[in-house]
């Protein structure tokens, strides 16, 4: 099975493979470092021409994670991934200072928060349309799931290769989907676009950041696969026995950093609109919503995988952040380079997992570093690919 048929069937393999990438603005550099190591490891196993998209049945992303998803899965003119994993970090270093240009001062920042988005979004829109062009969801090299939230209908709008193949009104341009998924309230403007099918039917989308629905899209990705056993969705066949059993899933979930800012009720009780939106350079209400959303998904996934005694099939890599590195939009040269270094150092941190009794993310003894875990994960992915490629 070559990459062009990757999103056709997984019935010949042992696992359903899922990659999930959180939202987090400039902190998308952190999972980029993890993905670079993973792709290099896969290339050592299977040759220099393989890429991340060759190994995952589904790649899911929210906001900045949605952008990384598109970069990994969108085809270039040779029907290979638009970006190698090693090139994503450079993309962030080159473009983040233009997407999130420096603001002039605290009072002016607050004024902008109260009267419009902090950033125009013009550069982000331009660069995404430049790279992704007229590529649509159905053209991705493997199945993708990208989360957004539609403020007109007040519901999550989940864009996926699965639905795009059967409903042309959801087969949107990848650039439009990524712009909508990253339109973080107060940071970037909400985004509107319209799709049209061959019969002239249209559908309107009024989108903001997918983090409103799921900053960590891991469960959405799993649910999208599982859903294929319940509905007639062309282009993806999964036996019910696989989709209902977590031992048949192999999931890599990448966080963009967990903010360790703390507050107390005595102080927060005095906050008004400005205090919750902008407090000492932080954005408490937005940070709390996105972080709690991501953590709840990790807790739910951990409970299910541990209940089925398949916890090693679910690898969540996350790091605690504080100070400038916890910012979603601080794009100074120093901060971006610090984030690159954090991502690389994270490889040598111990494997961690949610304690399902306390909900805390704790180091696990006996499983080595994230580098060790990713090396084992890469071997499992390689074995799965070889199994599918072997003659039946």
Average the pLDDT over 127-143 and give the result: 96
- Asked whether residue 358 carries a pLDDT value surpassing 90, the answer given is no
Calpha distance 106→145 (Å, rounded): 37
pLDDT for 242: 47
Residue 177 structure tokens: 């989907």
pLDDT at 110 over 80: no
CA atoms of 129 and 331, how far apart (whole Å): 21
User: Shortest CA distance to 163 belongs to which of 149, 180, 182, 143?
Assistant: 143
To which residue do tokens 């193949």 refer?
165
Determine the distance from the C-alpha atom of residue 315 to the mean position of all C-alpha atoms in its chain, rounded to a whole number: 14
Confidence of residue 8 (pLDDT cuts 50, 70, 90): very low
Contact call for residues 207 and 150 (beta carbons, < 8 A): yes
pLDDT band at 359 (very low <50, low <70, confident <90, very high): confident
Please state, in angstroms and as integers, the Cα–Cα distance from residue 343 to each residue in 21, 86, 196, 311, 330, following that order.
14, 13, 41, 23, 16
pLDDT for 5 beyond 80: no
Q: Are strands 155-160 and 143-150 parallel, antiparallel or unpaired?
A: antiparallel
pLDDT surpasses 70 at 170:
yes
Amino acid 9: pLDDT: 47
Q: Which two tokens stand for residue 224?
A: 């999208």
Domain boundaries, the chain: 16-232+241-389
pLDDT tier, 238 (very low <50, low <70, confident <90, very high otherwise): very low
Residue 3's pLDDT is 32
Q: Catalytic annotation on 109? A: no
Catalytic hit among 20, 63, 293, 326: 63
Query: If we measure between CA atoms, which residue out of 147, 171, 151 comes closest to residue 66?
Result: 147
Assigned fold of 16-232+241-389: Cytosolic phospholipase A2 catalytic domain (3.40.1090)
- At residue 1, does pLDDT exceed 50? no
Specify the range with the lowest mean pLDDT, choosing from 178-182, 273-277, 386-390. 273-277
Label residue 112 by pLDDT band (50, 70, 90).
low
For residue 4, pLDDT over 60 is answered with no
Kindly name the residue from 54, 209, 298, 329 that is annotated as catalytic: 209
Annotation says 292 is catalytic: no
Residue 2 reports pLDDT greater than 50: no
> Of 278 and 125, which is predicted with more confidence?
125
Residue range 177-204: mean pLDDT, rounded: 95
High-pLDDT (> 70) share of the chain, %? 89
Q: To the nearest 10°, the Cα dihedral for 73, 74, 76, 81? A: -10
Average of pLDDT values for 225-236? 61
Residues paired with 204 in a beta bridge = 194
Beta bridge partner(s), residue 192:
206
């Amino acid at each position: 099975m070559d990459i062009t048929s990757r999103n056709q069937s997984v019935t010949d393999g042992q696992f359903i493979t899922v990659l999930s990438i959180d939202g987090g603005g400039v902190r998308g550099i952190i999972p980029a470092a993890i993905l670079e190591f993973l792709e290099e490891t896969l290339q050592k196993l299977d040759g220099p021409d393989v890429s991340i998209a060759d190994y995952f049945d589904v790649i899911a992303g929210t906001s900045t994670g949605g952008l990384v998803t598109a970069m990994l899965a969108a085809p270039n003119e040779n029907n290979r991934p638009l970006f190698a994993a090693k090139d994503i970090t450079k993309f962030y270093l080159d473009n983040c200072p233009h997407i999130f240009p420096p603001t002039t001062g605290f009072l002016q920042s607050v004024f902008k928060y109260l009267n419009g988005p902090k950033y125009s979004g013009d550069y982000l829109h331009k660069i995404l349309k430049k790279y992704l062009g007229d590529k649509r969801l159905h053209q991705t090299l493997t199945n993708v799931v990208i989360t957004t939230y539609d403020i007109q209908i007040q519901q999550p709008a989940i864009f996926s290769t699965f639905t795009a193949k059967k409903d042309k009104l959801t087969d949107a341009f990848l650039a439009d989907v990524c712009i909508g998924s990253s339109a973080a309230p107060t940071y970037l403007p909400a985004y509107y676009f319209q799709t049209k099918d061959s019969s002239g039917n249209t559908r309107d989308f009024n989108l903001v950041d997918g983090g409103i629905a799921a900053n960590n899209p891991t469960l959405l990705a799993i649910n999208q696969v599982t859903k294929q056993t319940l509905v007639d969705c062309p282009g993806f066949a999964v036996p019910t026995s696989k989709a209902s059993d977590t031992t048949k899933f192999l999931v890599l979930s990448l966080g963009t950093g967990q903010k360790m800012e703390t507050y107390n009720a005595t102080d927060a009780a005095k906050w008004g609109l400005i205090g919750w939106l902008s407090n000492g350079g932080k954005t408490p209400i937005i940070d709390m919503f996105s972080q709690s959303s991501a953590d709840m998904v990790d807790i739910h996934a951990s409970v299910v995988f541990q209940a089925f005694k398949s916890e090693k099939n679910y690898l969540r890599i996350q790091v605690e952040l504080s100070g400038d590195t916890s910012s979603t939009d601080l794009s100074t040269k120093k901060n971006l380079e610090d984030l690159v270094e954090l991502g690389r150092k994270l490889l040598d941190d111990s494997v961690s997992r949610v304690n399902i009794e306390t909900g805390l993310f704790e180091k696990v003894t006996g499983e080595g570093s994230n580098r060790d875990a990713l090396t084992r994960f890469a071997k499992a992915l390689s074995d799965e690919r070889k199994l599918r490629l072997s003659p039946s």
